Structure 1
Amino acid sequence: MHIHLDPVGGIAGDMFVAALLAARPELEPRVLADVAAVLPPEAGKPRLADVVSGGIAARHFSLAVPGDAPSPPAGAAAGHSHEEGHPHAMPHHDGARHSSHATFAAMRGRIRAATLAPGTAEAAIGILAILAAAEARMHRMPVEEVHFHEIGDWDSLMDVVAAGCLIAALAPARWSVAPLPLGGGLVKTAHGLLPVPAPATVEILKGFDWRDDGIGGERVTPTGAAILRFVIGDEPASRPGIARPDVARLDSAGYGAGTRHLHGLPNVLRASLFTADAATDETRLLDIAFDIDDMTGEEMAQAADRLRGLDGVRDLRLTGAIGKKGRPVTTFSLLAEPAAFDAVGDAIFLETSTLGLRWHAVERRVLARDHDVTAGGQPVKRAHRPDGTRSAKVESDVLADIPTLAARRRLAKATD
């Protein structure tokens, strides 16, 4: 499964949960059971509502406590204070909603003590750990002593646990996210007025792509940022290897709404769930290409040898062509694993004179192969053909030291 997130209005914890429950409603009982296991009875109960935001039907996830207003009206969208997307005000929270144990250690202990679905506690604590690490760096304090001022309320703990529950239920999945809305202005927090995006959000989402759509306010909350970092991992969201698949079947999609009204824009997060077309790490590669017109033959040969030996490079070929101004050029084309893109790109710029790269994702079909099977005392590679037959070939490294072409060919055929 590949899950792609489109933060049209932004992303907060409640929007993430609502979007995925809209896409996979059968997971609702699991999520509600985990939330009930973590929240004390006096905190209230989770509430899922159908709303309309900017003309789009969506779901809204919130905590219902006695005296709460009814579900958001049509045209509204959801979120909370620093966690809900309100750009300039911290709302009043009554005693039932407020948690007095908002340190990282205390919240982690509460989650660990609860009886939760498999994987929920690990994912929820992982999200909290990302938040705690960012806050600790921002305020120069030990992680264990971090106090979550902005997620110190039961509804925010509910969002983290619900998000962890969904992430665990959908595992293993690949995740990607479109560029994030930058927002702007100031947000009022327990530390006073802070710029948008909030410092913790910026710290967490270094390396992600952002866009400015001209709409201010807090568009990505710290909890939303921590969820993104947790599902994407340490790799930037724009990395080709974790981008939205080029070819895939769309299985379902859901929209999660926030409470803030955005002028002329639906305040929703869309989650699209895809099944990739049988693409695997073995079949999915990147074709990285660049042209050289100012290196000698010796220099290009040395560069090709070094690039060919890099981890993650599956193949490299050089072809000649005529470039601009009638100059002869040599095109380098590398097939590389997506995860190796940054390292391979850096090496290309260091080993050659090129000033730029171009790349695209490619899919390949490969036959099943057996390695390290010996015949005649030599390691061979056997390929399984579609008609049930097998072909075999001695590994090329074994042939490298054999003198004469005829001798190498004889040995290559001696596989049975």
Structure 2
Amino acid sequence: MPQPAEACRHIHLDASGGVAGDMFVAALLDALPDLQARVLADARAVLPPGAGEPFLEGGTSNAIRCKRFGLKPAENAPHHHASHFTEMVRLIERAPLHPGTASHAVAILTVLAKAEAAIHQVPIAEVHFHEIGDWDSLLDVVAAGSIAAALEGASWSVSPLPLGGGLVRTRHGLLPVPAPATAEILKGFAWRDDGVSGERVTPTGAAILRHLVKAGRPPALELEAVGTGAGTRHLPEMPNILRAMVARLEAPGQAERITVLSFEVDDMTGEEIGTACDRLRALDGVLDLSTATRRGKKNRPMESFRLLVRPDALAAVQAACLTETSTIGLRWHEESRLCLIRELDQRDGIRRKRVRRPGGVTTFKAESDDLTGASLAERRRLARQCEED
């Protein structure tokens, strides 16, 4: 659903070095320093007495300026290993956090728990977070939740993720990279192999991405701020950084990624095409459908279908297209789109669509089905009357 105009902020994450919880927090706090007090307060609130102090400090990574986030443990800090999912949820929900922080932090943990449950074939309530059981990892989850809550309504995208390679040592022994939980969580995300081995995306970083990111490439943006967060690992050939590119959308609307699905048929009757269009339009995930008549091979007339589809519904819609029509091939690609905020109201019993445009201009469009005049001229008169501000 489109967000209100004041929520038209987009954050694109450039994962050149990788993605981890501490890198995400550091990058966003570098880009948006106004969030630092809130996030650090939430981070302190979830820690028990004597666990240590969260920090945000400047530094460099291969000569690139950056910020680092983490925990300075106190002497004799209490241990926090192999925590149950339910135990960590209780810690978060009982802490005095800013509004919205707990729900986002628990949602991130739930992404992790579901992945671990699937991998180890145990109920989610029995999941042990062996690899994120330390206090600094809990700190990352809560700080990321605080950032997500502070930026409620923003949209997020991420670049293709660095694949890494080799093995990573865990409490389960040596595991392949990406770690099983990371690979499970990030199904459907784009990856790239830059030839640099090691763990480049951590399970916590993966869970944050899954919770926030609904798009791949960013839409058209007006760049507002850039922040750089560094990880603890040194990469010999490149900076180990995550960049957060914060932008305002170019118009008061909601940017999103959609899939454009198209195909042609040249052996269906007009009635069959009409029935197929009605059934495809009614599918969940189909945002729009249009057709046009074209000329194909041997100069035969053919009908060209063009559907706008939510990316998560693509597979189901593809199957329906192959079932409801005679086509034997489909094409698709992703596009960005920006939808202005639309609101419904009524005037003189006629529904109308109200749209806010850039520059503060508001326009109205009467609902055609409600224009009941006996002639075209009368219906046009009613529309003009209804569409006046």
Tell me the TM-score normalized by structure 2: 0.81
How many Å apart are 1:366 and its aligned residue? 8.9
Letter in 1 for 2:23: M
**Residue 252 of structure 1 is aligned with which of 196, 200, 225?**
225
Cα shift at 1:190:
0.8
Q: Secondary structure at the match of 1:278?
A: coil
Pairing partner for 1:8 from 13, 16, 28: 16
2:210 paired residue among 229, 245, 251: 229
2:273 aligns with: 300
| More strand per residue | 2
Task: Choose which of 266, 276, 285 in structure 1 pairs with 2:239.
Answer: 266
The aligned amino acid for 1:6 is: D
Distance (Å, rounded) in 2 between the aligned partners of 1:252 and 1:124:
24
Q: Gaps spanning 5+ residues in structure 2: where?
A: 1-8
Task: Please report how far the alpha carbon of residue 284 of structure 1 lies from its aligned counterpart in structure 2 after TM superposition.
Answer: 6.9
CA 1:285–1:306 in 2, change beyond 3 Å: closer, same or farther? Answer: farther
2:166 alignment partner AA: G
1:332 maps onto 2:326 in alignment: no
**Separation in structure 2 between the aligned mates of residue 21 and residue 157 of structure 1, nearest angstrom:** 17
Residue identity in the other structure for 2:185 = I
Over 3 Å counting, the alpha-carbon distance change for 1:252 and 1:149 in structure 2 is same
**Residue number among 154, 166, 174 corresponding to 2:155 in the alignment:** 174
Larger Rg: 1
State the Cα distance separating 1:392 from its structure 2 match.
5.1
> One-letter code of the match for 1:211?
R
Q: Give the Å deviation of 1:109.
A: 1.7
Structure 1 residues 383, 373: CA separation in 2 closer, same or farther (over 3 Å shift)? Answer: farther
Is the Cα contact below 8 Å between 1:183 and 1:218 reproduced in 2?
yes
Q: Secondary structure at the match of 1:395?
A: helix
2-side partners of 1:41 and 1:96: how far apart?
A: 9
* Contact 2:341 2:356 survives alignment (8 Å): no
Query: Match of 2:223, SS?
Result: strand
Please list the CA deviations of residues 57-107 of structure 1 after superposition, one character each: whole Å capped at 9, or x if unmatched. 11111212358xxxxxxxxxxxxxxxxxxxxxxxxxxx5263157222222
Tell me how far apart the structure 2 counterparts of residues 24 and 263 of structure 1 sit (CA, whole Å): 29
| Inter-partner Cα distance in structure 2 for 1:223 and 1:372 | 51
1:161 aligned partner, one-letter code = V
The farther-off stretch of 285-294 and 263-272 is 285-294
Distance 1:264 1:112, change over 3 A: same
- For 1:279-290, what aligned pairs fall within 5 Å after superposition? 280=253, 288=260, 290=262
Please give the secondary structure, in 1, of the residue aligned with 2:57.
strand
Hey, what does 2:135 align to over in structure 1? 154
Compare 58-67 and 23-32 and name the one that shifted more. Answer: 58-67
The verdict on how the C-alpha distance between 1:97 and 1:26 changes in structure 2, with shifts beyond 3 A counting, is farther
Q: What is the count of residue pairs matched by the alignment?
A: 369
Partner Cα distance (2:362, 2:228) in 1: 47
Other-structure match for 2:330: 356
Deviation at residue 361 of structure 1 after TM alignment: 3.7
Amino acid at match of 1:108: V
Task: State the 1:210 CA deviation.
Answer: 1.6
Which whole-Å CA distance do the structure 2 matches of 1:171 and 1:365 have between them?
A: 18
In structure 2, relative to structure 1, the CA distance for the partners of 1:344 and 1:407 (3 Å cut) is: farther
Change in CA separation of 1:217 and 1:306 when aligned onto 2, cut-off 3 Å: same
In 2, are the aligned partners of 1:369 and 1:384 still within 8 Å (CA)? no
Task: Tell me how large the CA RMSD over aligned residues is.
Answer: 3.4
Q: Secondary structure at the match of 2:106?
A: helix
3-state SS of paired residue (2:182): helix
Residue equivalent to 1:198 = 179
Query: How far did residue 323 of structure 1 move?
Result: 4.2
Contact 1:150–1:189 under 8 Å retained in 2: yes
Indicate which of 77, 84, 90 corresponds to 1:109: 90
Of the structure 1 ranges 379-388 and 357-366, higher mean CA displacement relative to structure 2 is found in 379-388
Residue among 141, 144, 162 paired with 1:163 = 144
Inter-partner Cα distance in structure 1 for 2:167 and 2:363: 68
> Contact between 2:19 and 2:205, CA under 8 Å: does it hold in 1?
yes
For structure 1, list consecutive stretches of 5 or more residues without a partner in the other structure: 68-94, 400-405
Q: Which amino acid aligns with 1:266?
A: P
Q: 1:44 aligns with which of 41, 52, 56?
A: 52
Structure 1 Cα separation of the partners of residues 368 and 65 of structure 2? 61
Q: 1:277 aligns with which of 250, 261, 264?
A: 250
Q: TM-score, normalised to structure 1's length?
A: 0.76
Which residue in the other structure is 1:133 paired with?
114
* Distance 1:332-1:287 versus aligned 2 partners, 3 A rule: farther
1:279 Cα offset (Å): 5.0
Match of 2:5 in 1: none
Give me the whole-angstrom Cα distance separating, in 2, the residues matched to 1:366 and 1:147.
43
SS in 2 for 1:30: helix
Structure 1 residues 90-105: aligned runs within 5 Å: 96=77, 98-100=79-81, 102-105=83-86
Q: Distance in 2 between matches of 1:198 and 1:261?
A: 19
Query: Which residue does the alignment assign to 1:72?
Result: none
Return the alpha-carbon distance in structure 1 between the equivalents of residues 64 and 345 of structure 2. Answer: 52
Structure 1 residue 347, shift from structure 2 partner: 3.1
Separation of aligned partners in 1, 2:365 and 2:70: 61
Question: What is the CA distance between 1:158 and its match in structure 2?
Answer: 1.2
- State the alpha-carbon separation in 2 of the partners of residues 124 and 296 from structure 1: 52
| Structure 1 match to 2:101 | 120
Question: Is the contact between residue 9 and residue 181 of structure 1 (CA under 8 Å) also seen in structure 2?
Answer: yes
The 3-state SS of whatever aligns with 1:41 is coil
Distance 2:99 2:143 in 1: 13
Deviation at 1:43, TM superposition (A): 1.8
**Distance of aligned partners of 1:286 and 1:414 in 2 relative to their CA distance in 1, 3 Å threshold:** same
Measured in 1, the distance between the counterparts of 2:280 and 2:98 equals 46
What SS does the corresponding residue of 2:129 show, helix, strand or coil? Answer: coil
Percentage identity across paired residues of the two chains: 49
